[in-house]
Structure 1
Amino acid sequence: MSTGLIIALIVIVAVLVAVAAVVTLRARGPRHGTSLKRRFGPEYDRAVARHDGDTKAAERELADRVERHGSLHERELEPAERQRFEARWTAAQERFVESPRDALAEADRLLADLAGARGFPDGGHYEEQLAALSVHHAHHVDGYRRVHRVAQAHANGAADGGAGTEEMREAMVEARALFDDLLRPSRHDGGRHRTAPDGEHGTRPARGSHMPSLLHRRQTKES
């Protein structure tokens, strides 16, 4: 075989390898994006909006969250811990009638404490805790974001953080969904806490987890 033919074959092989690499990268891109969108749900759309429609930038951010927090193992709660958290949430809900802003502030603290108890970053590092929660509880994490926003505005002296009573009610309801999600046993708990199938997550809400009618009524009085 002549030297020229050998060189030609090497060039052809190199070109084929380069083409294959490009095709592989292009094929991985959409699948990677689809995987992130499926995992993060509404958080994916929020990330895209935050990056002004730049899906690649949003996906880099979400992929970074998975890299940092995807291996987090949620600690199971003891029955006494569950009861204490349930009691605190019930008290916060009841307080909403007279003082919605104080109720949201308590819900904010409660979610931070509960997430910390489950093994997420400490509530003192809110952004990192929120990022970790978005990886494992993406469909409910926005409730925490909403109550935290109002609670921080209230703590800084703003009357209500720009939120009316109805908006605060909706935030409290959304936050309750994350609370329930964090309170239930993880799937890998080995059956230590038995639950029956019911709804999206395959578990029944925790005892006492029903939302009082006061938070479903649009006539909740202003405080």
Structure 2
Amino acid sequence: MSTGLIVALIVIGAVVVIGAAALLTLRRRRGVGGRDLKRRFGPEYERTVARYDGDTRAAERELAERLERHGELRERPLEAERRRAYEQRWQAAQELFVDSPRDAVTEADRLLAEVAGARGFPDGGHYEEQVAALSVHHADHVHGYRRVHRIARAGVGADGQPEHAATEEMREAMVEARALFEDLVAPTRHDAGGSGDRRSSSHARHGRAHQPWGFTRHHAKGS
């Protein structure tokens, strides 16, 4: 066999391999569009489409990019002692809500950023990227984090006065954010002392996440 023929065969083989890889990549990208993205992101899909004024292509492009960046993220184990400390801090924030709703929401925002970071998500100092990663793995509950963060970081209004959310709005934000918090601290099979996987634990606790706390909207003082 001549040298020229060998080189030609090698080139043809390389082209075939590259073509197959490109085709596989294209199929994978198509596979995370439309129905797959709706199923993966749930309510987050609808929110993203609404943010793009109904432009589903633009929304799906963003969601696919989030999935590509953060889809392979594996949450780090959380030690039982650290989990209990986080749960105690959340309970304290709920109790603080009675006297100071705004401070309670601020603490909830701070705590969610810290717990997410401990689990291996991007650091809380990079809020947008952290939320993007959380939306890939906790799409059902990530919006609660957005709500408390928006309230906690509210600035000054046009009249020069601090922008304050209504007490009821803050209460609803705390309740919704608690669902994400419980997802993040739920034991997994990889945690020390954990039993079962996150999904079963999360489902078992999901009902409690939306139950009233030890106070009602009438017990909380005004904002």
Query: TM-score w.r.t. structure 1 length?
Result: 0.76
What runs of 5+ residues in structure 1 fail to find an aligned partner? 1-24
In structure 1, the residue matched to 2:122 is 121
In structure 2, the residue matched to 1:133 is 134
Deviation above 6 Å: which 4+ runs of structure 1?
Answer: 196-200, 207-210
Alpha-carbon distance, 1:185 to partner: 2.2
Alpha-carbon distance, 1:87 to partner: 1.1
For 1:58 and 1:217, locate their aligned partners in 2 and report how far apart those are by CA, in whole Å. 36
Alpha-carbon distance, 1:144 to partner: 0.3
Percent identity between the aligned chains? Answer: 61
In structure 1, the residue matched to 2:186 is 184
1:104 aligns with 2:111: no
For 2:77 and 2:122, locate their aligned partners in 1 and report how far apart those are by CA, in whole Å. 15
Alpha-carbon distance, 1:209 to partner: 10
Alignment of 1:59-78 (within 5 A): 59-78=60-79
Given that residues 121 and 128 in structure 1 are in contact (C-alpha distance below 8 angstroms), is that contact kept between their aligned partners in structure 2? yes
1:47 aligns with 2:48: yes
Structure 1 residues 139 and 70: CA distance shift in structure 2, 3 A: same
How many residues of Structure 1 are paired with residues of Structure 2 in the alignment? 194
Alpha-carbon distance, 1:208 to partner: 11
Amino acid at match of 1:164: A
In structure 2, the residue matched to 1:4 is none
CA RMSD in angstroms comes to 3.2
For 1:37 and 1:208, locate their aligned partners in 2 and report how far apart those are by CA, in whole Å. 24
Q: Which moved more, 1:152-161 or 1:100-109?
A: 152-161
For 1:69 and 1:155, locate their aligned partners in 2 and report how far apart those are by CA, in whole Å. 34
1:87 aligns with 2:88: yes
In structure 2, the residue matched to 1:144 is 145
In structure 1, the residue matched to 2:220 is 220
Structure 1 residues 45 and 172: CA distance shift in structure 2, 3 A: same
3-state SS of paired residue (1:153) = coil
Structure 1 residues 208 and 149: CA distance shift in structure 2, 3 A: closer
Query: TM-score w.r.t. structure 2 length?
Result: 0.76
Alpha-carbon distance, 1:191 to partner: 8.8
What runs of 5+ residues in structure 2 fail to find an aligned partner? 1-25
